[in-house]
Amino acid sequence: MSIRLSELGLRQKPSDITRLMAIAIERPDMLSLAAGFTDNDSLPLEEVRDIVNDISKAGPSGKSTLQYGSNIGRSELRSILTKRLEAADTIESGGLDEARMFVSNGSQQSLYLAIQTLCDPGDCILVEQPTYFVFLEILDGLGVTPIAMPMNEAGEVDVEGLEALLKSMDKAGTLNRLKALYLVSYFANPTGHSISESTKSAIGSVLSQLDQTIAVIEDAAYRELYYETPHSARSCLSVDTFTGMPILYTSTLTKPYASGLKVGYAYCTDESWMAAMLSVKGQQDFGTANFAQAIVERALSSGSFDRHVTELRAIYKQKMETLHGALESKLSELGWAWPVPGGALYLWLRSPNEMRTDGDSDFHAACIENGVFYVPGDLCYPSNRIQDRIRLSFGALKPHDIEEAASRFSLAAKSMTRAVSG
The residues that touch ligand PLP, with contacts defined as CB under 6 A, are 36, 106-108, 132, 184, 189, 219, 221, 252, 254, 259, 264
CB atoms within 10 A of CB 203: 25
Q: Using CA atoms, how far apart are residues 376 and 344, in angstroms rounded to an integer? A: 18
Shortest Å distance, C-beta 134 to ligand PLP: 7
The answer to whether 192 and 394 are in contact (CB under 8 A) is no
Which residue lies nearest ligand PLP, judged by its C-beta? 106
Shortest Å distance, C-beta 375 to ligand PLP: 11
Q: Which is nearer to ligand PLP, 312 or 355 (CB)?
A: 312
234 — phi, psi (to 5°)?
-80, 165
Q: Sheet containing 389-393: which strands, arranged edge to edge? A: 346-350, 389-393, 375-376
Shortest Å distance, C-beta 181 to ligand PLP: 15
Q: Using CA atoms, how far apart are residues 238 and 306, in angstroms rounded to an integer? A: 23
Q: Which is nearer to ligand PLP, 77 or 412 (CB)?
A: 77
Shortest Å distance, C-beta 373 to ligand PLP: 17
Going through 162-227 in order, the beta strands assigned E by DSSP cover: 178-184, 215-219
Helix axes 399-421, 362-370, angle to 10 degrees: 140
The answer to whether 157 and 150 are in contact (CB under 8 A) is yes
* Concatenated DSSP letters of 254-312: TTTT-GGG-EEEEEES-HHHHHHHHHHHHHHTSSS-HHHHHHHHHHHHHTHHHHHHHHH
Shortest Å distance, C-beta 203 to ligand PLP: 18
Shortest Å distance, C-beta 2 to ligand PLP: 33
Q: Which is nearer to ligand PLP, 305 or 363 (CB)?
A: 305
Residue 209 CB partners (closer than 8 Å, separation 6+): none
Q: Which is nearer to ligand PLP, 144 or 184 (CB)?
A: 184
Shortest Å distance, C-beta 107 to ligand PLP: 4
Going through 287-415 in order, the beta strands assigned E by DSSP cover: 346-350, 372-373, 375-376, 389-393
The answer to whether 183 and 216 are in contact (CB under 8 A) is yes
Q: Using CA atoms, how far apart are residues 105 and 71, in angstroms rounded to an integer? A: 11
Shortest Å distance, C-beta 129 to ligand PLP: 14
Q: Which is nearer to ligand PLP, 107 or 304 (CB)?
A: 107
Residue among 136, 132, 77, 85 nearest 104 (CA): 77
Q: Which is nearer to ligand PLP, 44 or 106 (CB)?
A: 106
Shortest Å distance, C-beta 403 to ligand PLP: 24
Q: Which is nearer to ligand PLP, 132 or 338 (CB)?
A: 132
Q: Which is nearer to ligand PLP, 264 or 382 (CB)?
A: 264
- Give the burial string for 147-166 (b: 16+ CB within 10 Å, else e): bbbebeeebbbbbeebbebb
Q: Which is nearer to ligand PLP, 344 or 413 (CB)?
A: 344
Q: Using CA atoms, how far apart are residues 305 and 7, in angstroms rounded to an integer? A: 42
Shortest Å distance, C-beta 184 to ligand PLP: 5
Residue 223 CB partners (closer than 8 Å, separation 6+): 88, 185, 186, 187, 230, 231, 251
Q: Which is nearer to ligand PLP, 331 or 375 (CB)?
A: 375
Q: Using CA atoms, how far apart are residues 147 and 127, in angstroms rounded to an integer? A: 6
Is omega for the bond preceding 130 within 30 degrees of 0, making it cis? yes
Shortest Å distance, C-beta 257 to ligand PLP: 10
Q: Which is nearer to ligand PLP, 111 or 175 (CB)?
A: 111
